[in-house]
Structure 1
Amino acid sequence: MTMKFSLLPWKPELVFTGTSVMGINPLTRKFSSHVDFWDSIKQNDYFSLEGLVDFIKQLRIYKTPDLESPKYQVLKRTADYEIRKYESFLVVETKVDKLSGSVGFNNVAGYIFGKNASSEKFKMTTPVFTKALDEEPSRVFIQIVLPQGNDLDGFPAPSEGGVTLHKVGGGIAAAVKFSGETTEAIVAEKEAMLRSALLKDRLKPKQGCMFARYNDPGRTRSFLRRNEVLIWLEEFTLD
């Protein structure tokens, strides 16, 4: 279940996944009890302090821009990460040398703002992804998501060398959200923590990761920024 908490001005998104157990009275054949078991907590009592803390944690301020973003469905939310099912999406990308840097951003942003074969301009989207295929810095790419509605053939060719269009096939990814500064060390720490949690839960993370930045760092204070590290999974099934 995903919902907006409209009582707060920033309207945080609350996500709860788990299992609902309904009891039925055999005489009346009506529901007589209802217990929810959240995936994100262990103590699922009628009043759970752990559940209250989990709820309050989700009220944290993240300033997510009102821009088009890749579509996904949250399949499971644990205390440490979310499991998301992404639809396919298109990106414009170029090679860079590290996950947290801004080198290469102007090249891919230039495509959006008209540096392409037809000088066509497109609306900005979010987030800006940086994708690492493995641990080698020569295999890192910065990406801007292209607006939905066309396939690759529907977009003009880039006019700058080293800039290409690419389709991300979608699939199942684990994601951890955080705010604050995003140095290379911090991103590496988040990726290591996420990978460790996935392995502990007997999931199968793929090599590499994606770092997502939703905000303009020049216009958004660090504690308000929405950042994410994502790792694609080999497979995932709901128990």
Structure 2
Amino acid sequence: MAIEEPKFSVLEKNPPFELRSYAPMILAEAQTEGDLDEASSQGFRLIAGYIFGQNQVSEKIAMTVPVAVEEQAPKSAKIAMTAPVNIESNAGKWTVSFVMPSEYTMESLPKPLNPRVQLRQIPAVKRAVIVFTGFNSENKVAEKTLELEEWMRSKNLQAVGVPRFARYNPPWSIPFMRRNEIMIDVRD
């Protein structure tokens, strides 16, 4: 059985870049601290606990992909930013998220028991994306983010928010088989 991914349509494709239109979705997310690997691992464990039954009705929720990690914007910053956005700023504070299966609504999802896990509805959104394989160090994520920002500039796309790093495969996957993405929301 295939693992569910968020629903999107490709508006433009120029490998490894894509411009996508995503349907509305619900995220389960957790705030974490540390470097990219520490934050990803900590956030994954928190949200995995929620979907594996640490919720008010002990209901198991199907796993989806990707697991996304984004650096938190400084509290004083405005949400609408223009490229480039440096993914290595803001002192190691991150938001790790899973997209909830599309069968759920905010009303039908069980409430998390852990207060660090939050549910959030996000509206339809347009995203610029770069797809890549292999290991994913902070340096590689920063490098791919810069490549995506350059592509966005060449297309006159304006960034809204911060870059998200998305992992689609478990850590034991063979590196050349791993699907990774950097996503940046863009102004419609």
Same fold (TM > 0.5): yes
Aligned to 2:52: 113
Task: Select 1:77's aligned residue among 13, 16, 20.
Answer: 13
Distance across 1 between alignment mates of 2:15 and 2:3: 27
Contact 1:99 1:131 in 2 (8 A): no
Instruction: Tell whether 2:164 aligns with 1:225.
Output: no
Instruction: Tell whether 2:66 aligns with 1:127.
Output: yes
The percentage of aligned residue pairs carrying the same residue is 32
2:152 alignment partner, SS class = helix
1:133 shift after superposition: 4.2
Contact 2:16 2:131 in 1 (8 A): no
Distance across 2 between alignment mates of 1:70 and 1:195: 23
Deviation per residue, 1:76-116 (Å, 9 max, x gap)? 01245100000011111101234453222111011000001
Contact 1:133 1:209 in 2 (8 A): no
Structure 1 gap ranges (5+): 1-64
Which structure has more RCO (C-alpha within 8 Å, separation ≥ 6)?
Answer: 2
Structure 2 gap ranges (5+): 74-88
* RMSD, aligned α-carbons: 1.7
Distance across 2 between alignment mates of 1:133 and 1:198: 21
Is the radius of gyration larger for structure 1 or structure 2?
Answer: 1
Contact 1:131 1:210 in 2 (8 A): yes
2:141 alignment partner, SS class = helix
Aligned length: 170
Q: TM-score, normalised by structure 2?
A: 0.84
Contact 1:75 1:84 in 2 (8 A): yes
Distance across 2 between alignment mates of 1:216 and 1:133: 24
1:167 shift after superposition: 1.3
Instruction: Tell whether 2:104 aligns with 1:104.
Output: no
1:132 shift after superposition: 2.7
Alignment of 1:45-84 (within 5 A): 66-84=2-20
1:143 alignment partner, SS class = strand
Q: TM-score, normalised by structure 1?
A: 0.67
